[in-house]
Amino acid sequence: MGWVMVLLPISLLIFGFPVFLILIATSVVILTFFMDVSMNIAHIKMFGSVDKLAFLAAPFFIFAGELMSRGGLSNRIVSWVLSIVGGVRGSLPITAVGSCAFFGAMSGSGAATTAAVGQVLYRPLLNNGYSESFSAGVLASSGAIAVIIPPSIAMIIYGGSAEVSVVKLFIAGFLPGLLLSALMAAYIYLYARRNNMGITQGFAFREFIRASGAGFLALMTPLIILGGIYSGIFDPTEAGAIAGIYAIIVTMYAYRELDWRGVWEAAIRTAYVCAQIFIIIAAAGLYSWLLTISGVPAAIVGFIENIGAPPWVILLVINLLLLIVGCLLDPTSAIIILTPLLLPIVLAADIDLIHFGIIMVMNLEIGMFTPPFGLNIFVVQSVLRAPLTAIYRGVVPFIIINIIALGIITYVPEVSLFLPQLLGP
């Protein structure tokens, strides 16, 4: 039975079947031909997988992100970040990194962040002398930062799957997100110096004040969301709902960039995205349950205990596995499928589950812009009309930088755990 649960999904994936259909088909085959269990268990496990309070936050943040990307907030955020770093070499691509981190703190979605910021900065990057490959690469990789910056949809999914505190995950993701952003900005600065790229504009305090005033309501969004969560005023689900209401008020009544038709379109798009996410969660929940009762996780734990592998080797192998999976699957599918499989191994190695959650999300963040199937690659190709070969070339140095950051986050757990230990109970 074990070989069927591994080879059948891989075969169907090669033929291009949707992930949820692959998981359901494999589960049905196992239940029908290899297990003496009523088929009624299927819908019980599938509905049970999505019936978790932690998942309720995801639709609210997706809706808020849709409103913000449609409501012109990205333009104001880009202008504000550029007013700060405009006097630095490489200021435009550094602005892309900072804007994506900031927008990610509002939406939690890598694809939405890439599209929103990319539409504002792609042409200016080209017009300022940056190559097509570099411009596409920096936007594809910067957009993925939203996956590690709280509030992250991927962290919400992991928190529900692993049954750990989403609030602690949000707190733990703050420093890794800053570390990754700083490393990417440092590389961009060195690239700009080596290629003698000019500055975009000098720093002017008056321009900074103007950009801060124009974008004040947009800039307040992460403060309201994360400040409210970290201070305990509201939980992640309530924060998502407040973010959605705040986004409607700001985009419709303050900036007047959106009308009720736009809100309706954002709601429809949110429903579509949530349907995709939750059908994958349901299908993966059934498949993961079958993996568990078939003894696969227990067998892996037993094997690791027998060979006596130290924790650093276990983490290295898990990172390699997650990097490969991240290149093939979207973060939601990967988290739901692999979390039940990997948690027994992580617990046996005495690795903190919050730390492991950040490691998993970081790996899948890299997969979002890794060729050939990274989601952000296709977002950049379709939204910005960038050639696929140029994107592939452009992301390579940023993949290396992200792997360096992953190594630091993996083997220096304090990067992830310092703030939760400092602020948490």
Top mean-pLDDT range of 166-175, 303-312, 327-336, 382-391: 166-175
62/112 Cα distance (integer angstroms): 9
Tokens, residue 169: 């995950």
Residue 120: pLDDT over 70: yes
- Evaluate whether 200 touches 181 at the Cβ level (below 8 Å): no
Span 343-362, mean pLDDT?
93
pLDDT (0 to 100) of residue 203: 67
- Ranges 198-207, 240-249, 309-318, 341-350: which has the least confidence: 198-207
- The C-alpha atoms of residue 236 and residue 123 are separated, in whole angstroms, by 36
Domain boundaries, the chain: 41-423
Q: Which of 105, 194, 100 is nearest to 139 (CA)?
A: 100
Task: Identify whether the C-beta of residue 6 lies closer than 8 Å to the C-beta of residue 295.
Answer: no
Cα angle 186, 190, 195; round to 5 = 150
Distances (CA, A) of 91 to 121, 125, 135, 209, 236: 11, 10, 13, 18, 34
Per-residue pLDDT tens over the stretch 278-309: 888 888 888 888 888 877 777 777 777 777 77
pLDDT class of 151 with cuts at 50, 70, 90: confident
Amino acid at 256: R
Query: What crossing angle do the helices spanning 57-70 and 236-248 adopt, rounded to 10°?
Result: 20
Identify the pLDDT of residue 39. 79
> Rounded to whole angstroms, how far apart are CA atoms 385 and 378?
10
Contacts 24+ apart (CB under 8 A), 98-102: 98/181, 98/185, 99/74, 99/142, 100/139, 100/142, 100/143, 100/145, 100/146, 101/142, 101/145, 101/146, 101/149, 101/177, 101/178, 101/181, 102/77, 102/219, 102/222
CA distances to 132, 332, 361, 369 from 147, rounded to whole Å, are 24, 11, 7, 12
Instruction: Judge whether residue 402 has pLDDT over 90.
Output: yes
Given a cut of 80, whether residue 42 has pLDDT beyond it is yes
Q: How large a percentage of the chain has pLDDT more than 70?
A: 98
Would you say residue 424 has pLDDT above 70? no
Contact 161, 58 (CB under 8 A): no
DSSP structural state of residue 146 = G
Q: Which residue has the higher pLDDT, 87 or 414?
A: 414
Distance CA 205, CA 16 (A): 53
Contact indicator for 86, 124 with CB cutoff of 8 Å: no
